[in-house]
């Protein structure tokens, strides 16, 4: 079996798993307030919590192209399980794989792969979102450890995570620490009343005089933002880019199916010109979004330095497409679109958050504009 066929088989198996174990129960996850722990264990047993990890750490060894397709499979059916993959696997696992010491990788990656430890990423704070360099959580050095004080907020799967990557600052210099829930002074509080992410165990983390062993520094001391945060956010944006495509694709399939079955004024909705216009726009946007995602994936596979910018553009574009297509899908469903008996109600809610997480759309525009101003500047020939 070729490598492509091996990876393609994993994607097909994941589709069957999702259709049997996840898709029928998504509303239950939201009503009960979380992805069942038993489902997380089943995902781990399949290797789905370590899809891009090398096989020696218990992973499936998916390259970026197939990992993107894998993310789409889960994102189409259930944003909560996709969110678990984003934070546990991409933000934490892949960042550990890139910057962890051999000892850290040998200790943590197999546990993450087996689902023995659930991981979350602690960057955002109650008063700090897009301005991530201004975090207020602090660290100080003692003889045999580092001591962390502060609060983190909006931490996906934070209320059940066993281990966190926590970003803390010392005199304006940030450092990333591997912090275990079992450390004294670590407490989490569930965040409720959410528009989206209702099954993702979103939490606030309090860190009160938390003593962290010195071997738990991830990457270089005082270079947490330059290395760890930038890499983790790039990993996260790649996952969110495919998540936006997933929502848009699912919404398109919902609007097409509904328009072919629902009748008004004696005709199927699909026969009305304005409805056909919405579908035509959605198809075009999704094909463009998929092209961006595949382009970013191919460049990441090649380790091309332009991959980070292509990922940023993909994340920016697909998150907007997800909102547009989910909005039109709900419009086509009419009153039925406002009930959870149809998927578009959930897709509409979940689409919006993608324009905010892993860098808001406005932050992405700033990054992309900086790139454009440099890349496409043509000097005048005039003296």
d(CA 232, CA 240): 12
d(CA 82, CA 200): 10
Active site residue 358: yes
136-139 long-range contacts (CB < 8 A, ≥24 apart) are 136/169, 137/166, 137/167, 137/168, 137/169, 137/207, 138/168, 138/169, 138/170, 139/168, 139/169, 139/170, 139/175, 139/177, 139/212
Instruction: Out of 21, 72, 355, 358, pick the active-site residue.
Output: 358
Residue 155 near residue 194 (C-beta atoms within 8 A) = no
Based on its alpha-carbon atoms, the radius of gyration of the chain, rounded to whole angstroms, reads 21
Distances (CA, A) of 156 to 2, 103, 189: 36, 26, 12
Find, among 66, 160, 150, the residue nearest to 118 by Cα. Answer: 160
| Tokens found for residue 74 | 């889960």
Among all chains, which residue has been given the structure tokens 């899908």? Answer: 329
The catalytic residues are: 358
């Amino acid at each position: 079996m070729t490598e492509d066929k091996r990876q393609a088989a994993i994607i097909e198996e994941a589709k069957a798993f999702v259709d049997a174990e996840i898709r029928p129960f998504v509303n239950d996850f939201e009503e009960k307030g979380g992805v069942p722990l038993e489902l997380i264990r089943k995902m781990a047993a399949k290797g789905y919590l370590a899809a891009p990890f090398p096989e020696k750490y218990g992973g499936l060894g998916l390259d970026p192209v197939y990992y993107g397709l894998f993310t789409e499979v889960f994102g189409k059916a259930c944003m909560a399980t996709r969110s678990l993959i984003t934070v546990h696997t991409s933000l934490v696992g892949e960042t550990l794989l890139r910057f962890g010491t051999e000892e850290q990788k040998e200790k943590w990656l197999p546990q993450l792969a087996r689902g023995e430890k659930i991981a979350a990423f602690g960057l955002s704070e109650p008063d700090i979102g897009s301005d991530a360099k201004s975090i207020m959580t602090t660290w100080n050095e003692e003889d045999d450890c580092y001591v962390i004080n502060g609060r983190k907020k909006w931490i996906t799967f934070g209320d059940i995570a066993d281990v966190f990557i926590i970003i803390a600052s010392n005199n304006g210099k940030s450092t990333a620490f591997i912090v275990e829930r079992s450390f004294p002074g670590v407490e989490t509080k569930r965040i409720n009343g959410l528009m989206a992410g209702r099954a993702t165990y979103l939490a606030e983390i309090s860190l009160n005089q938390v003593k962290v062993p010195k071997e738990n520094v991830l990457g270089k001391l005082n270079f947490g933002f330059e290395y760890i945060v930038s890499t983790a956010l790039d990993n996260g944006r790649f996952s969110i880019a495919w998540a936006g495509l997933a929502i848009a694709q699912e919404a398109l399939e919902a609007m097409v199916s509904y328009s072919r079955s629902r009748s008004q004024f004696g005709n199927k909705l699909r026969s009305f010109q304005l409805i056909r216009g919405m579908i035509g726009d959605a198809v075009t946007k999704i094909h463009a979004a998929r092209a961006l995602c595949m382009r970013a994936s191919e460049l990441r596979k090649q380790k091309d330095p332009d991959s980070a910018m292509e990922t940023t553009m993909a994340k920016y574009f697909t998150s907007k497409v997800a909102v547009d297509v989910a909005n039109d899908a709900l419009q086509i469903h009419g009153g039925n679109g406002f009930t959870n008996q149809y998927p578009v109600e959930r897709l509409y809610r979940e689409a919006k958050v993608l324009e905010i997480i892993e860098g808001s759309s406005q932050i992405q525009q700033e990054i992309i504009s900086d790139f454009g101003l440099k890349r496409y500047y043509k000097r005048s020939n005039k003296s």
